[in-house]
Amino acid sequence: MSYSFSMLCKNVVVPLFLIGLVTLLCVANAKPATFLQDFHVTWSDSHIKQLDGGMGIQLLLDQNSGCGFASKNKYLFGRVSMKIKLVPGDSAGTVTAFYMNSDTDNVRDELDFEFLGNRSGQPYSVQTNVYAHGKGDKEQRINLWFDPSADFHSYSILWNHRHVVFSVDDVPIRVYKNNEAKGLPYPKFQPMGIYSTLWEADDWATRGGLEKIDWNKAPFYAYYKDFDIEGCPAPGPSACASNPTNWWEGSSYQQLDSVAARRYRWVRMNHMVYDYCTDKQRNPVTPPECLDGI
């Protein structure tokens, strides 16, 4: 949240005699962000509705349009999260996306969550992808182990100098490591904005485009709340992004702990349905970053 209290209270360094005062101020001022504090509508304003005094929003997709929003600032490293309730029922052909993007054309960096709609009764899939310096095609896809349209669930991206971790309800579903030592690009120079969209993609989203949108079921709705951005805003002090005292650069965030690693293996063993690393048709030679373990 652009150096709001929730961010400062986690990162501020103060003299020992002031810690108690800062703690009291942080607790007293701690509150969730409203949508308009950190975001603005990017397209189809009529299809985005604020709820609960701006504490939540509703996105709408119909035959006329989808919609989208973006953060007012870009950030270099940190953690972003939102709680989302996805399109219920027959959502085949719809995509709800939550992602970070440097918006720099052919050399863009991007970190993607894409929630792929389904026919009623089928599992909801989430696809992740990573672009570094314009190089992408690193899709992985898992089936979620719950119904994400029945209630809100938390989706987050942790991004530091060591790795990127995509998590669902604090369960890591993907880890993308910094492999610059192997000559591979890693997103660390370009600030990224936070974006979300609800749109029609029935040419590929559900079973490779076999399942089309049933417009008789429209309009389609997705809901968001608990927006949280903690990172170094850009433009901002250049020292911020390289500051080793930022909480997301701390030793406990440099690798998965034993509990998170066990959950990560469980997801990949039981819920992964596609991994570019093992797609021999696309990648006859295993990409070098895929040879790394957790």
Catalytic (active-site) positions: 110, 114
DSSP letter assigned to residue 7: H
Length of the chain: 294
Listed residue (137, 114, 126, 132) closest to 195, CA to CA: 114
d(CA 156, CA 172): 9
Side-chain-side CA neighbours of residue 52 (13 Å): 12
d(CA 179, CA 201): 32
- Residues linked to residue 128 through DSSP beta bridges, in sequence order: 113, 140
Structure tokens at 99: 């992602």
Structure tokens at 105: 């054309």
Residue with tokens 């101020």: 25
CA 81 from chain centre, in angstroms, equals: 6
How is the beta sheet containing 193-200 ordered, strand by strand? 39-43, 67-71, 193-200, 94-101, 110-116, 125-131, 140-143, 272-275
d(CA 88, CA 222): 8
DSSP letter assigned to residue 199: E
